[in-house]
Structure 1
Amino acid sequence: MKVANTAHVKSRYGDLYWDYAMTFGQFGESYLLVPVVKDNRVVLLMEAAREGNKVYFFERDDKRMIDFFHAVIFSNITDYREKTDSQNSTSSRSTPVFECSTRWITIGCTDKEPNCTPYTTSETICKWIPGTRPKTFDPIGMDDGGGGGGDDGYEYPDPPEIENPCERIIMNNTKVKDIINQLNAQKVKLTSSLSTDTNEKSFSFGKDSTGNYATTDIKTSTAGNSVPIVTSSSAMTIEGAAHTHTSELYTSFSPADFYFFHEANEANSNFEYYYVFGADGSAYALTITNPIDFINFSTNYPQQTYIDLSTKGWNPKSKVGIFFENVKDQFAKQNKSDDEAYEYATAMTASKFNMGITLSKQDSSGNFKPIFIKENTTYVNINGVPILITTYIQTPDCNLK
């Protein structure tokens, strides 16, 4: 449905209410039934059935099921229960079948709603043989009523396998090096006065209609504030952004930058690359190495709990803030500079709390290298009492999860 003509769907059918779509037990991305609403009434159902690498869209004009979905969406019913029965029989649909299953669903009421009437319905789903299908639901607006190939199916590639994050960071870093090389002129302009700048600057980038990389204009923050990040543009498909940290700031990303990155990606799923340039000439990149963890990032670590808004750093009283400061302090005791201790603590914190992102730093050859930190734990006997000691060291070995 990413290429669906939404204006066509709305004018011809109505609004697709995705939040109320149901699978009716057909799991594995194989089946979905979506209510279609017009003038505050469920008027039709869109049936999506996956066969192999194609999806077929059908109109489902079933009064019983339409009434059921209308009750779910527009009544004060607040609960539903379901059970599934397997059977071998024929379906009321015209399609030949050889396997059917029936799911009975009862939606009911709470004790505080004495006037609410429970509603029970059943849904029988049967695997059909291509050739004798129901009326096609046309999401694209094709003149022939739909279709995406010789058998009227729309291409639907298999979901990609979850990538190994250690392999993904290698590809990501090759990409961020290539991108920043193509944007070198804008990077030079962005950082030309960085050693004396007092405010952060940024630009966003992406591919234009010709497939070439383009950038937005450079933006400058106001005193004491983070620089805004552009996430969408009519001139290009935004893929990421670059910004600066002045001499008063750490060279690496701030914890607030983690949330800027997440919010940008949430607003635009193509936003996958984020750079920061330090006043000492250093360059870092944040990329996504575990998409699922990254999606859950702000839910697991809500900004209002974990960020100190006055400093843009981790809340020192939160578990993340306490951990971060402990790691930073350990690296400082290893004679690392303040910026080095900060970047190592940043990398370890992102890994420790499964934030789905990995910090990389550009070396003298222009390559971006991921920063991996190893956590070692051991027990030390002190006056007969075993004490757990945790230490941290930089390692060249990938330990991404």
Structure 2
Amino acid sequence: MKKKLLLRLCLILTVLLSLPSCTNEDLYSSSENEKQEILSKSPWKEDQVYIRKVQKIFLQNANLQYFERKYGTVHWDYAMSFGQFDESYLVVPILKGNTVVTAMKVYRIDDRVYFREKNDPEFISFFTDIIFKEISGIDEKVVNSPTSAASKTIEYKCTYRTITVGCFESQSNCEPLSSTVSECKWRETGGGSAQMEICNPLECENGGGGADPGFLYPDPPQDDPCLKASSRNTKAKSIMNKSKVSAAKTEATKTLATDTEEKSFSFGKDSNGDYKTSAVVSGTSNSTNIPGSNGQFTIEGTAHTHLNGYYNAFSNGDLYSFQAANANTPTMLYSFAFASDGSTYLLSITDPVKYATFAAQFPKSGNIDGNNGFKEGTELYNTFKSATEQFISQNFSEDDAFAYATAHILNKYDTGATLSQQDDAGNFNSIFINETITPPAPGETKPTSTFSPTADCNLQ
């Protein structure tokens, strides 16, 4: 949109127990393991709701004979969620006979779960000890990064699990052997190896490995939008650092100062988990299309330029274009805008259902004009204009005022999308706006709203 004068913990939990019993008794056979209710043999508390639901998804989609020939038998009774109880993550051992040969991690992103192989020697050894050896003690430590109670952001959460093999309190002259493994939640936001082939890729459309868009997860929990926004920001920085994405950005912006047409590209991961991009394409002075992937990668997002003389942040029309793109391609959750002054903005989706609801309640046809701005006289126009004018009166630049008003729209109408800006260190920081409403003064009929940027997350 063209510029106008007025529009512009560390929490540590340690549990030490003594377990004098052996854990290698009564291993389920393949048929028992796949059919009966899971009876957890983990010495720790696990997210059994998630484990049961993931097992059901696996059994509904897997060709067990094919999977067992290729990988081995999944032993769900030893599945572990490593301190996560939000239906988001588990690791489960895979055995051939009495040998742990690999492990499978299953993580959830929104309403999709992904099955990845975790062929890690430390985890193979860890599960071997848990299943087949005498465990005399266990320990668990959960460590969160420094957390702001106000902003509710968590950079990562790591769980360290230690087992001690061979020595009990009654034994003397015994040297115990301990081993520790760890899992950090922030690492499980996507990427990594291709999905495991839970069925023969020559015989099934889904589940055949590669860049499959995951499996539908029923009734996902309502995630904290502030934590999800923080996660989106972390992932966005990682995406921008990928070599192919960085190269596409360089190509799209190298002549931005004098360009007369916007440029765009899409990006995502291929079947090997590597980031790829589409070709950079050109559009018009205030719009551009989102290129497809031609089947070469699963699209995660898009990026486009904003020309000199236009606002740095996303136009009002961009909010609708991105929602439509997500409705067509549910894996598309990130959109970047590269401005002519070098700034970069991120529009990320934290709740696709809310975003679709907003677009249905305030349809594009009735709310966006021919210049990609809100139509004059509409509720969105009045709300946006009021916030923009007030930010300008507070001596913010037109570009900042426009971005802040956009962030206010996204939060006020509970859109399920958030706006962030990249700083000099490459980090993306969410833009939150505080609205203070003052009751009408005597003789007046309308309350007064006062807007101000805030570091505190106030997403609904």
**By the TM > 0.5 criterion, same fold?**
yes
Cα distance in 1 for residues equivalent to 2:201 and 2:297: 27
Cα distance in 2 for residues equivalent to 1:233 and 1:354: 34
Pick the aligned partner of 2:263 from 172, 179, 201.
201
Are the equivalent residues in 2 in contact too, given 1:54–1:157 (CA < 8 A)?
no
The range that moved more, 285-294 or 337-346, is: 285-294
Q: Give 1:381 shift.
A: 3.7
AA paired with 1:399?
N
Cα distance in 2 for residues equivalent to 1:209 and 1:381: 62
Are the equivalent residues in 2 in contact too, given 1:54–1:156 (CA < 8 A)?
no
Counterparts of residues 2-401 of structure 1 (less than 5 Å) = 53-54=55-56, 159-182=219-242, 183-222=245-284, 224-309=285-370, 311-379=371-439, 381-382=441-442, 388-401=447-460
Q: Give 1:195 shift.
A: 1.2
Cα distance in 2 for residues equivalent to 1:189 and 1:142: 36
AA paired with 1:291?
P
Are the equivalent residues in 2 in contact too, given 1:231–1:264 (CA < 8 A)?
no
Q: Give 1:267 shift.
A: 1.0
Alpha-carbon spacing, 1:189–1:390, altered in 2? closer, same or farther (3 Å): same
In structure 1, list runs of 5 or more residues that go unmatched.
1-50, 58-139, 149-154
Cα distance in 1 for residues equivalent to 2:349 and 2:444: 42
Cα distance in 1 for residues equivalent to 2:313 and 2:297: 28
Aligned to 1:340, what secondary structure does the other structure show? helix
Cα distance in 2 for residues equivalent to 1:208 and 1:237: 6
Are the equivalent residues in 1 in contact too, given 2:267–2:301 (CA < 8 A)?
yes
Are the equivalent residues in 1 in contact too, given 2:354–2:415 (CA < 8 A)?
yes
TM-score by length of 1: 0.60
What per-residue deviation string (whole Å, max 9, x for no partner) do you get for residues 129-155 of structure 1? xxxxxxxxxxx89999xxx9xxxxxx9
Alpha-carbon spacing, 1:296–1:387, altered in 2? closer, same or farther (3 Å): closer
Cα distance in 2 for residues equivalent to 1:290 and 1:159: 14
Cα distance in 2 for residues equivalent to 1:246 and 1:273: 20
Q: Give 1:157 shift.
A: 5.5
AA paired with 1:252?
A
What per-residue deviation string (whole Å, max 9, x for no partner) do you get for residues 4-45 of structure 1? xxxxxxxxxxxxxxxxxxxxxxxxxxxxxxxxxxxxxxxxxx
Number of equivalences: 257
AA paired with 2:266?
S
Please say which structure displays the higher CA radius of gyration: 1
- Root mean square deviation, CA, Å: 2.5
Cα distance in 2 for residues equivalent to 1:220 and 1:372: 32
Q: Give 1:261 shift.
A: 0.7
In structure 2, list runs of 5 or more residues that go unmatched.
1-51, 61-198, 208-214
Q: Give 1:160 shift.
A: 2.9
Cα distance in 2 for residues equivalent to 1:302 and 1:388: 27
Aligned to 1:241, what secondary structure does the other structure show? strand
Are the equivalent residues in 2 in contact too, given 1:231–1:271 (CA < 8 A)?
no
Q: Give 1:232 shift.
A: 4.3
AA paired with 2:313?
S
Cα distance in 1 for residues equivalent to 2:303 and 2:216: 34
Q: Give 1:239 shift.
A: 0.8
Cα distance in 2 for residues equivalent to 1:192 and 1:371: 27
AA paired with 1:54?
K
Alpha-carbon spacing, 1:54–1:397, altered in 2? closer, same or farther (3 Å): same
Q: Which has the higher contact order (CA 8 A, sep 6+)?
A: 2
Higher strand share: 1
Q: Give 1:255 shift.
A: 1.1
What per-residue deviation string (whole Å, max 9, x for no partner) do you get for residues 193-238 of structure 1? 111111100010011122100111100113x451111244311111
